[in-house]
Amino acid sequence: MQYNSGRDFRWLLLRPWVFIPRLLQVLWTLGGLVLVLLLRGGSKSSEVQLKLAKGILNTLTGLGPCFIKVGQALSTRPDLVRRDWLDELTRLQDDLPSFTHALALERIEQELGAPAHELFAEFPSEPIAAASLGQVYKARLEGQAWVAVKVQRPNLTFILRRDLVLIRMLGVLTAPLLPLNLGFGLGEIIDEFGRSLFEEIDYEQEADNAERFAALFAENEAVYVPRVERMLSSQRVLTTTWIDGAKMRDSAELQALQLDPASLIRTGVICGLQQLLEFGYFHADPHPGNLFALSGRTGDLGHVGYVDFGMMDSISDSDRLTLTGAVVHLINGDFASLAADFQNLGFLSPTADLAPIIPALEEVLGGSLGDSVGSFNFKAITDRFSELMFDYPFRVPARFALIIRAVVSQEGLALRLDPQFRIIAVAYPYVARRLLAGDTAEMRDKLLEVIFDTDGRLRLDRLENLLAVVGQDAPAPGRELLPVAGAGLRLLLSRKGADLRKRLLLTLIRDDRLRTDDVRALLGLLGRTFGPRRIAGGLLQQLNPLAAA
Catalytic residue list: 285
List CB contacts of 137: < 8 A, sequence separation 6 or more.
104, 123, 124, 127, 128, 148, 149, 151
Do the Cβ atoms of 397 and 184 come closer than 8 Å? yes
Task: Report the Cα–Cα distance between both ends of the chain, in Å, rounded.
Answer: 58
Question: Phi/psi class of residue 308: alpha, beta or left (left: φ > 0; alpha: ψ in -120 to 50)?
Answer: left
Q: In terms of Cα–Cα distance, which of 482, 490, 483, 485 is closest to 537?
A: 482
Q: How far is the C-alpha of 394 from the C-alpha of 342, rounded, in Å?
A: 9
Q: How far is the C-alpha of 486 from the C-alpha of 535, rounded, in Å?
A: 11
Do the Cβ atoms of 223 and 267 come closer than 8 Å? yes
Do the Cβ atoms of 487 and 436 come closer than 8 Å? yes
Burial class (CB in 10 A: 0-12, 13-18, 19+), 183: middle
CA–CA distances in Å: residue 134 to residues 95, 137, 200, 302, 478: 11, 10, 11, 29, 48
Q: How far is the C-alpha of 114 from the C-alpha of 102, rounded, in Å?
A: 14
Q: How far is the C-alpha of 464 from the C-alpha of 64, rounded, in Å?
A: 53
Q: How far is the C-alpha of 534 from the C-alpha of 531, rounded, in Å?
A: 5
Question: Phi, psi (5° rounding) for residue 22?
Answer: -70, -40
* Residues 46/51/52/57 CA torsion (nearest 10 deg): 130
Go through 513-548 and write b for each residue having 16 or more CB atoms within 10 A of its CB, e for each that does not. eebeebeeebeeeeeebbeeebbebbeebeeeeeee
Residue 281's beta-bridge partner residues? Answer: 314
Instruction: Work out the number of other CB atoms within 10 angstroms of the CB of residue 384.
Output: 15
List CB contacts of 469: < 8 A, sequence separation 6 or more.
331, 373, 428, 429, 432
Question: Phi, psi (5° rounding) for residue 494?
Answer: -90, 170
